[in-house]
Amino acid sequence: MNSSSVRDRQSGLGRYTRIALVALAVVALLAVAALAALRHFYPPERIAAMVGEHVSNATGRSFRINGELKLRVVPSIAIEANDVSLANAEWSAQPDMLRARRVALDVSLRELLSGVLRIDSVTIENAELWLEADGAGRYNWRLAPRRAAASDAVERRATPFTLERVDASAVQIHYRNGRTGSVHSLAIDTMALAAAGARTALQAQLALGPQRWQMTGQIGGLAALLAGTPAWPLALKATTAGASASLDGSMGTGAHTGSLDAEASVRMEDAAALAAWSESAARHLPFPLEWRARLAHAPGSWRADPMQLSLGKQTLTGRATLERRGQAPLHLDLDLSAQVLDFTKVPSAPAGGAKSTAAASGRPAALFGDTPLPFASPPAWPITLALAVERLSLPKMPVLTALQTRMTLNANQLQLAPLAFGFAGGQVRGRFDVALGPQGAPRVELQLDARSMSVEALEALTGGVRRFKGGQASLDARLTMAGRTPRALAASANGQLSLNARDVALAGQSAARDRDLLQQLLDALIPSGMPRENLVLQCAVARLPLRNGVAAIDRSIAVETRQIAVSASGRIDLSHQTLSLAFQPRVKRGLDLNPGSLVELLLLEGPLEAPTLSINPRGAARQAASVGIAAATGGISLLAPVLRSAAGEASACAQAMGQAAPAGRPSTILPRKERR
């Protein structure tokens, strides 16, 4: 290439460079001129007024920019404002519905130069949003665009919101129940809304309590939200560690605010996900836990119908309604049913705290403890539950079948009525009432009628050696009590408790020779040499007439076989958790059995959880009959003559059940300290 060509090329490049520089200079001058013109014709104050009017017209609420205003031209035309607020509804407790430390609004320059303010996108930082319902059908997020008068319609010329994007960060959302004053909050770390056709795509990271959630999905457009529609679409899904939730349907806006119709679901994979909401439920419920429902909301009520609740691999179906009845608080109605519920493998709550004094000393724990019962704390709102379960398995209990009950729970009452289920091969019917109140101890009324229960199934509850074969038992309870703990309830018990069994065969001696109390009683009462394998308990009755936790037993405990009858008298004190009972067997008339093979007196005394058994030889019993045995037995006196008076022919079981008069006038058997 010769020198002339090089010079020509360099000359051309220089010419292009000069043209480019001139063009850039012109653009810069035009930009400066445009910015100068923009600042002259649209100073920040005027744009702030236009923005305020624009937002106020669209929402029907006063919009204020209280802080500094800046006009930004790079990378786009935007107004940056500090301390921005949107007024609340007139009836709301908070003066402002929205307050933000910083808001940037990107506007269309072409539209702005034509005198029209069009907001394309909004960036919000450090904001606080208050949502509120007054419980009477008013919601502060119901926005009503203002209608411009015909005379100034041309002058306003502000187009409806056509936002392409909203970005928000560090936003606190509070929901306040105007009726109760309760407030619930969640924190949004970041949120992005972007137009996607007729809908808006949503992505957010938020914190609800201690959990961090990721939310994705779509919602309706902003224009439809502000214009008001009965079906503004929602399709959202939220996830966190071990849990997920979804909502797919629509909600009402404008005049229809407060309505919702959607498919909703919540799933908890493990206890850790639920512990953030309820540690007690997390310890006791099986997982995974899933709730699905068709959810509908109208002012004053929520309805989930149909509804499905899965606990582990078990499913409850039905419906739920939460609604307000007049001026009363919200009321929750549940109607649930299941084919099978098995709670035998549900983990129990871990034992906590220090060991009790009894456990530390090696002694058995008291039968009635001092742990407060759960019904002492009423619920936040009244609950009614109708429950039907075909087969219910509970830890350390026979299977319950055909369970039918209705539970009512409110600040004044806990009631199970009616209550019916199959148990141990028999049928149980009854009711359970607890009168609650802020003052005084809860009052409990129990009525229970259990018939034809298998003795073997009941014995299996103890988990010990099998002693009985066959037989059926019945239980009748009519009790009233008052107290906050099992001990207090037992000490105040009034009424009657009756248990009777028939045709129970003894299973024979155990190779391991179980030496518990029942075994000792059987060994002492059955004559030596009589084969237990052939012995059948024709009847066994225990009738406890309770008055203030004390049952005075006057031959209302009895056992009969074909050969012998045993009656007991004494005292059972649930208040002090002690008993003092004396048993005397007698030979039935007409049978070839030597009365001398029987013990004459058998004493059972001590604490309910661990009484002791002592046998008095015939001579000692006769002596006790004449001089009293209070000193020797810790409180039982005049016992032998009382028992001896029961040696008539009347059935011991019939007497115990109150169906036959005793053969003699009973003496009153009292502890020594009460006979002074």
pLDDT, tens digit, 9 for 90 and up, residues 468-486: 888 999 999 999 999 989 9
**Pairwise pLDDT comparison (407 vs 613), residue with the higher score:** 407
CB 314 within 8 A of CB 338: yes
Question: Would residue 18 count as lying in a domain?
Answer: no
Gap between the Cα atoms of 14 and 506, Å rounded: 120
For range 385-389, the mean pLDDT: 96
Low-confidence winner among 266-280, 436-450, 615-629 (lowest mean pLDDT): 615-629
pLDDT tens digits for range 547-578: 999 999 999 999 888 878 888 989 999 989 99
Say yes or no: 185 and 247 in one domain: no
Mark whether 468 and 563 lie in a shared domain: no
- Domain boundary residue among 478, 506, 534? 506
From the number of C-beta atoms within 10 Å of its C-beta (0-12, 13-18, 19+), residue 208 rates as middle
* Domain termination residue (choose one: 506, 531, 546): 506
Residue 301 reports pLDDT greater than 80: yes
Both 494 and 522 in one domain: the answer is: no
pLDDT for residue 36: 62
The number of C-alpha atoms within 13 Å of 228 and in the hemisphere containing its C-beta is 14
pLDDT number for residue 285: 80
Query: How many helices and strands, by DSSP H and E, does the chain display?
Result: 15, 30
My answer on whether 521 and 502 are in the same domain is no
- pLDDT tier, 488 (very low <50, low <70, confident <90, very high otherwise): very high
How many domains, in total, are found in the chain?
A: 3
Instruction: Give the domain extent around 393.
Output: 229-346+368-506
Weakest-pLDDT range from 234-238, 302-306, 326-330: 326-330
Residue 599 near residue 624, CB atoms below 8 Å: no
Q: Which pLDDT does position 32 carry in this prediction?
A: 61
293 forms beta bridges with 264, 307
User: Are both 531 and 557 inside the same structural domain?
Assistant: yes
pLDDT digits (tens, 9 = 90+) for 358-382: 555 556 677 888 888 876 566 777 8
Of 49-58, 393-402, 407-416, 442-451, which gets the smallest average pLDDT?
A: 49-58
Helical spans, DSSP H, in 427-528: 455-460, 486-491, 517-525
Query: Is it the case that residue 322 has pLDDT exceeding 50?
Result: yes
Give pLDDT, residue 357.
52
Residues 328 and 251 occupy one common structural domain: yes
**Do 456 and 545 share a domain, yes or no?**
no
Rg, C-alpha atoms of the chain: 41
Same domain, 453 and 496: yes
Same domain, 292 and 424: yes
- CA pair distance 403, 390, nearest whole angstrom: 6
647 lies in some domain:
yes
Confidence label for 20 from pLDDT (cuts 50, 70 and 90) = low
The residue to which tokens 């236009």 are assigned: 50
pLDDT band at 189 (very low <50, low <70, confident <90, very high): very high
Q: What value does the mean pLDDT take over residues 270-280?
A: 84
Q: Comparing 133 with 337, which gets the higher pLDDT?
A: 337
Measured distance CA(100)–CA(170) in Å, rounded:
10
Least Cα distance to 262 among 232, 290, 224 occurs for 232
Decide if 71 is inside a domain. Answer: yes
Percent of the chain with pLDDT over 70: 70
pLDDT of residue 151: 44
Question: At which of 506, 541, 567 does a domain end?
Answer: 506
626-655 tens-digit pLDDT: 333 333 333 344 343 434 444 445 688 988
Residue 271 above 80 pLDDT? yes
Q: Give residue 134's pLDDT.
A: 83
Least confident stretch, 225-239, 326-340, 406-420: 326-340
Does any domain span residue 550? yes
Does the pLDDT value for residue 295 go beyond 80? yes
For residue 114, give both structure tokens.
Answer: 């034509």
Q: Which residue has the higher pLDDT, 149 or 567?
A: 567
- According to the model, what pLDDT value does residue 446 have? 96
pLDDT for position 293: 97
Q: Can you give the pLDDT at residue 529? A: 58
Closest C-alpha among 456, 485, 448 to residue 367: 485
Mark whether 336 and 302 lie in a shared domain. Answer: yes
Give the lowest-confidence range in 8-17, 412-421, 434-443: 8-17
Mean pLDDT of the chain: 79
Q: Which two tokens stand for residue 223?
A: 């224009």
Based on the domain organization, do 246 and 318 belong to the same domain? yes
Q: Any idea what the Cα angle at residue 158 is, between residues 156 and 164, rounded to 5°?
A: 170
What residues contact residue 79 under an 8 Å CB cut-off, 6+ apart?
Answer: 44, 47, 48, 51, 69, 70, 71, 72, 104, 105, 107
Range ranked top by mean pLDDT from 75-89, 233-247, 275-289? 233-247
Q: Do 230 and 259 contact (CB within 8 A), yes or no?
A: yes
Structural domain contains residue 56? yes
Q: Higher-confidence residue: 44 or 128?
A: 128
Ranking 132-136, 228-232, 333-337, 418-422 by mean pLDDT, the lowest is 132-136
- Tell me, yes or no, whether 110 lies in a domain: yes
Give a yes or no: residue 296 inside a domain.
yes
> What band does 138 get if pLDDT is binned at 50, 70 and 90?
confident
Read off the pTM: 0.75
For the chain, how long is the longest CA-to-CA vector? 153
425 lies in the same domain as 327: yes
Residue 26 in domain: no
Specify the higher pLDDT residue, 48 or 546. Answer: 546
DSSP letter for 473, please: E
Most confident stretch, 47-56, 147-156, 255-264: 255-264
